[in-house]
Amino acid sequence: MDLIDKLGIDLKLLLAQIVNFVILLVILTKLIYKPLLKVLDDRKKMIAKTVDDSKKIEDRLSAIEADRDKVLANAGNEAMAIVEKAKKESEEEHAKIIVAAKKEISTLAERYRAQLKEEKAELMSEVKKEVAEMIILSSEKILKREFSKDDQSRLESAIKEEIKSVK
Confidence of residue 144 (pLDDT cuts 50, 70, 90): low
What pLDDT is attached to residue 151?
A: 72
What pLDDT is attached to residue 80?
A: 94
The residue type found at 37 is: L
What pLDDT is attached to residue 104?
A: 95
Q: Which residues of 46-61 are buried (b: 16+ CB within 10 A; e: fewer)?
A: eeeeeeeeeeeeeeee
d(CA 106, CA 134): 41
What pLDDT is attached to residue 75?
A: 93
Average pLDDT, the chain: 88
Position 6 pLDDT exceeds 90: no
Break the chain into its structural domains and give their ranges. 2-166
pTM of the model: 0.40
Position 167 pLDDT exceeds 60: no
* Better-predicted residue by pLDDT, 141 or 89: 89
Query: What would the pLDDT profile of 58-104 be if each residue is shown by its tens digit?
Result: 999 999 999 999 999 999 999 999 999 999 999 999 999 999 999 99
Confidence of residue 116 (pLDDT cuts 50, 70, 90): very high
Position 145 pLDDT exceeds 80: no
